[in-house]
């Protein structure tokens, strides 16, 4: 069965700095897809960025980028130049052959002025 582990429960940073959130996954699928979502204070779940397992290049979207280390089954999320509005809970998720998203427990990010 697939599994996603986010070991950081919460992170606090000062705005305009860079933050990295860790995510380790388990899967037996040879092809799989990794996603990062954030959940805002209002409860809305927003898609941020994805990494397809067959792609070696790390995905980048705006000020979000991924650190994909396939041999370590790791997909870290990097947010550069953090803003107050980035404060949210960040979820890592994986989907393999079964087409179901398996989620981690999330990392709460607080960006302080």
Partner 1 sequence: DPKIIQKPKYLVAVTGSEKILICEQYLGHNAMYWYRQSAKKPLEFMFSYSYQKLMDNQTASSRFQPQSSKKNHLDLQITALKPDDSATYFCASSRDWGSAETLYFGSGTRLTVL
Which spans of this chain sit near partner 1 (rule: CB under 8 A)?
4, 31-33, 35, 37, 42-47, 50, 52, 91, 93, 95-106
In 15-113, which ranges are E strands?
19-21, 24-26, 33-39, 45-52, 60-61, 64-69, 74-79, 88-95, 102-103, 107-112
Q: CA 75 to CA 86: how far, in whole Å?
A: 19
Smallest distance, Å, CB 95 to partner 1?
Answer: 5
Smallest distance, Å, CB 32 to partner 1?
Answer: 7
Nearer to partner 1, 79 or 102 (CB): 102
Q: CA 43 to CA 61: how far, in whole Å?
A: 22
Nearer to partner 1, 33 or 64 (CB): 33
Would strands 10-14 and 107-112 be described as parallel, antiparallel, or unpaired?
A: parallel
Smallest distance, Å, CB 7 to partner 1?
Answer: 14
Smallest distance, Å, CB 105 to partner 1?
Answer: 6
Extract the tokens encoding 43: 């409860």
Nearer to partner 1, 12 or 31 (CB): 31
């Amino acid at each position: 069965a697939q599994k996603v582990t986010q070991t950081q429960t919460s992170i606090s940073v000062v705005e305009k700095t860079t933050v990295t959130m860790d995510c380790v996954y388990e899967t037996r699928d040879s092809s799989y897809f990794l996603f990062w979502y954030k959940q805002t204070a209002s409860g809305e779940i927003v898609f941020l960025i994805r990494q397809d397992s067959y792609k070696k290049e790390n995905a980048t979207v705006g000020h979000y980028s991924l650190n994909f280390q396939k041999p370590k089954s790791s997909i870290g999320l990097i947010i550069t130049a953090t803003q107050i509005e980035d404060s949210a809970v960040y979820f890592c998720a994986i989907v393999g052959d079964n087409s179901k998203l398996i989620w981690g427990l999330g990392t709460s990010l607080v960006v302080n002025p």
